[in-house]
Chains A and B, each alone.
Chain A
Amino acid sequence: MRHSPLKGRFAAAGAVFRERHGAEVVARVAERAAEYRAVRDAVGLTDFSFLHKFRVPAEQGLDFLDTLLAGNVPKIRFGRVLHTFLADSDGLLSGDCYVANNDEEFVFLCESIAPDAELCGLLQAAGVTEAGAEDLTDSHALLSVDGFKAWDVAKELFGADVLGLPYLSLEVYPFEGASVRLIRAGKTSEFGYLMLAPASVAVALFDALRAAVAKRDGQLCGVDVHDDLRLEGRFFNIQAEGLRVRDPLVLGLQWMIDLDKEKFSGRDAIHQRRAEGLRRKIVGVAAEPGNDALVTGAWIFHANQPVGEVVADCHSLALNRRLALAVFPVELAYSGLSFRLGTADGPAVKTISMPPIMPKSLTVKLDEM
């Protein structure tokens, strides 16, 4: 099992660990509600070192990445980041990916749900060795700073320059004699910054970030709370609905695909399913307050028939009710419809428009600060 270079620091903070697809992850550090409130109202610091991380030389590696991933890698402008996915040969999801163009190199981050051996096979088939890609998974840490005040933490460490970074962009900053690759991203609806740092400075970076986060009433977080934050913000979560459904078309991820590309892993299977037409689709669902039965695996009924299956769920603290994603036949996949949960006469649930919350961060304009 892979371990984070920051394991000692998180263990000392009382973190609870668990295994996720061959890597040890920090599940939680505090109560889930405290971690949630930290991100929504202040800032949270999370260890995402379990992601697969690569440095790919630009000239040698362009074809490799473009052959591997569904998005159009040559179109990524300098300093910008592409959010796309990695599929297997059946066109089913294996990883949720960021690719950043950093001039001489691409930085490739992959949150994989495939076993390491299977992921390795997909990378090899696309020519990872010939591309000269350097695997940074064990040699680098990846920290995520997310929250309404995340920009203030990033500014304290790297200067006011970070405020000018648009969403999905990358910049490199010096830190303790090393280079930290900073990506403005995040899947919480609040401000978010991923920081990729060599293991040699990872602990020092963590300590500096932790102090800056504490100054703003922030909190160390685990990955579990990110499931809630992603669902509330309707960010795709490969660990929840992605793992359960796996078909990018049913999940509504067509926007991550360059449909004109002639080659990428899983392309033929995806195009074949697209040509056959979409039969199922994912939709947001909300329960009435107090109804705790809206959980993954539950069935949703319409006219005495089970029609929808819940594939991701959380208790939304912002809405004070359970929130879910469910897969419905396309003819019923509309917001604003009433259904029954569990049985034909079960409690009422309603399909809703996503995202259902308005995050504080959308009220702040960083370029005007």
Chain B
Amino acid sequence: MSDNTQSTIERRARVIATFKGELIRRLNLPYSAEDLHEDISLLGSGLGLDSLDALEIVLCIESCFKIKIPDQNVAILRSINTVVDYVLEQQAQRGGAA
């Protein structure tokens, strides 16, 4: 495995682990981190979370990763992977700006 692939995986895996752990803890989900597929839908089908849960997810992301989720941006909250993409993008921008 190339260094680039390895570092992409490690960076992503860290964010996934943090987000899943917090998601399970805050929403009291009856699953282990391994049970939650990263493409699972967070709202509606899949985990079937409601609008209050969505608010909790936003707070979870903001406090875990110190980033802001724009209001009404449902695209970010569609799956664990879409959340992770947003977090990595924000972290890269912050790193680039520093």
Contacts and interface: CB of A to CB of B under 8 A. Distances in A.
Contacts of B5: 302, 337-338
A167 interface: yes
B79 A355 contact: yes
Contact of A334 (B13, B31, B36, B79): B13
B1 A303 contact: yes
A358 B46 CA distance: 17
A355 B84 CA distance: 13
Contacts of B9: 331-332, 334, 337
Contacts of B45: 83, 167-168, 187, 235
A74 interface: no
- Give the contact-size bracket for chain A: 20 to 34
Contacts of B74: 362
Contacts of A187: 45
Nearest to A234: B39
B8 A255 contact: no
Interface in A328-361: 331-332, 334-338, 353-355, 358
Interface string B1-41: 11001001100110000000000000000110011111111
A362 B74 CA distance: 8
Contacts of B30: 258-260
A253 B40 CA distance: 8
A282 to B, nearest CB: 8
B85 A353 contact: yes
B41 to A, nearest CB: 7
Contacts of A362: 74-75
A254 B36 contact: yes
Nearest to A363: B74
A255 B31 contact: yes
A321 interface: no
B92 to A, nearest CB: 12
Contacts of B78: 355
A69 B54 CA distance: 28
B31 A254 contact: yes
B83 to A, nearest CB: 9
A254 B97 CA distance: 40
A120 to B, nearest CB: 28
Contact of A336 (B2, B8, B39): B8
A305 to B, nearest CB: 10
A255 B29 CA distance: 10
Contact of A255 (B12, B47, B82): B47
B39 A354 contact: yes
Contacts of B34: 277-278
Residue picked from B35, B38, B45, B84, most chain A C-beta under 10 Å: B45
B64 to A, nearest CB: 18
Interface string A263-296: 0000000000010011001111000000000000
B96 interface: no
Nearest to B85: A353
Interface of B: 1-2, 5, 8-9, 12-13, 30-31, 34-41, 44-48, 74-75, 78-79, 81-82, 84-85
30 contacts: A83-B45, A167-B45, A252-B40, A254-B36, A255-B46, A255-B47, A274-B35, A277-B34, A278-B34, A282-B37, A282-B39, A283-B39, A284-B39, A303-B1, A303-B2, A334-B9, A334-B12, A334-B13, A335-B85, A336-B8, A336-B12, A336-B85, A337-B5, A338-B5, A353-B39, A354-B79, A355-B41, A355-B82, A358-B75, A362-B74
